Every structure is written in C-alpha cells, then in structure tokens.
Amino acid sequence: MTATITHQLDATDRRILSFLIKNARLPFLEIARECGISGAAIHQRVRKMEQMGIITGSRLLVKPQALGLNVCAFMGVSLSRANAYSQVIESLRHIPEIVECHFITGNHALMLKIYCKDNDDLMHILIDTIQNIDGVERTETWISLEEAIERQVFVDDASYAKLPANKAPQARKESRKKGSK
C-alpha cells in the first residue's frame, strides 16, 4: 500500500508540470521561455521533482487498437479470503493483457483494466486464466464501448494558481473553455 505524498509546489513548478503532462517531449528550453526562467532552472526543478517522487517517469502512449487490441474491459475481482491479496496480485502481474489493477472499496476487492484482441480473447483470459487463480472467488466484467476521456491528472498551473480560492474554479472553467477552442 502506498502512503499519500504531499509536497509544496510553487506556481512555476505547477506550470512546468502542466506543460510536461500535455507533452512530456517538450524541450526544456521551450518551457523555460514560457515560464520566463532559464533552461537550467527548468532542468533543476524537474530533477528535484523526480527526486521527490512527484514525477515518476515519462511514457510513450500507444493506442491499443493500433496493436489489434480492440476490446477494453474492466473486471471486478472478489477474493475468497482477505489474505489471498498478495498471492492474487502476483499471479495477475503475469497476465500481459492487464494494464491496471486497483485495490478498491465496494463489492469487489480489485478492479482490473484489460485490453485484448476480441471478445473470444477476453473470454479466454477470464475463464482460463483469471478465474483459475487460487484466491479468486468471482469476477464481474464490463466491456467499454468507448473511451470518452483520456488524460493525466489535472495540475493547477500558474494562470490562476495565485487567485483566491473562491475564484480559482471559475478561472479553471474559463481556462478549459479557451483550451477547447
């Protein structure tokens, strides 16, 4: 289980993060021009945020459909006993179609996100693999028909970070409206 990590970020750190979340390949010099500080300062701030665990890496995102993975499904997994958690997680790590696994509250202990070729492939993963794991009691599956929103976490950037708390939500809405045009 992970602990909640909180760090004090100033407006410049938040602005740097907002640029990197939109495009992790954006050159530091371009970010520096937008922030009004040197490229070296951007590099130092990013390095510090990496050391503090705020930035944990950058990724290349690939559309699953481009690889023939046309079905996205979510699966709730109930455990037969509470102490089966670690053993079940270890078994799930070996199934490449599982791209996310969350320990959740509610009717299930785990929520999985799975990408597979088609419904037959999903059925194989479900019946021949996941339901055969010792400690899995039952599963419930939902097939995604469309991913309507895909994004990273939201970072308050410098454009309204200094506004009073009651003004920030309105500024956030206005900023989003401008960004969608």
Q: Do the domain assignments include residue 45?
A: yes
Question: Does one domain contain both 138 and 73?
Answer: yes
The β-bridge relationship of strands 136-144 and 71-79 is antiparallel
Question: Does one domain contain both 54 and 79?
Answer: no
Q: In angstroms, what is the C-alpha Rg of the chain?
A: 21
**21-80 pLDDT, tens per residue?**
888 899 999 999 999 999 999 999 999 999 999 999 888 888 999 999 999 999 999 999
- Tell me what the mean pLDDT of segment 110-120 comes to: 98
Full residue range of the structural domain in which residue 35 is found:
7-59
Judge whether 69 and 116 are in contact, CB under 8 Å. Answer: yes
Question: Does one domain contain both 48 and 32?
Answer: yes
Q: Do the domain assignments include residue 23?
A: yes
- Tell me what the mean pLDDT of segment 124-150 comes to: 96
pLDDT at residue 160 in the model: 40
Q: Do the domain assignments include residue 111?
A: yes
Q: Do the domain assignments include residue 51?
A: yes
H or E element that contains 49: helix 39-51
E strands present in 85-165: 98-103, 110-116, 136-144
What CATH number has the domain bearing residue 113?
3.30.70.920
**11-20 pLDDT, tens per residue?**
999 999 999 9
Number of domains in the chain: 2
Verdict on whether the full-model pTM lies above 0.85: no
Other Cβ atoms within 10 Å of 76 Cβ, number: 17
Question: Does one domain contain both 132 and 75?
Answer: yes
What CATH number has the domain bearing residue 53?
1.10.10.10
Q: Do the domain assignments include residue 175?
A: no
Judge whether 18 and 157 are in contact, CB under 8 Å. Answer: yes
Q: Do the domain assignments include residue 98?
A: yes
Q: Do the domain assignments include residue 1?
A: no
Q: What is the residue-averaged pLDDT of the chain?
A: 86
CA dihedral over 130, 132, 133, 134, signed as positive or negative:
positive
Judge whether 115 and 180 are in contact, CB under 8 Å. Answer: no
Q: Do the domain assignments include residue 118?
A: yes
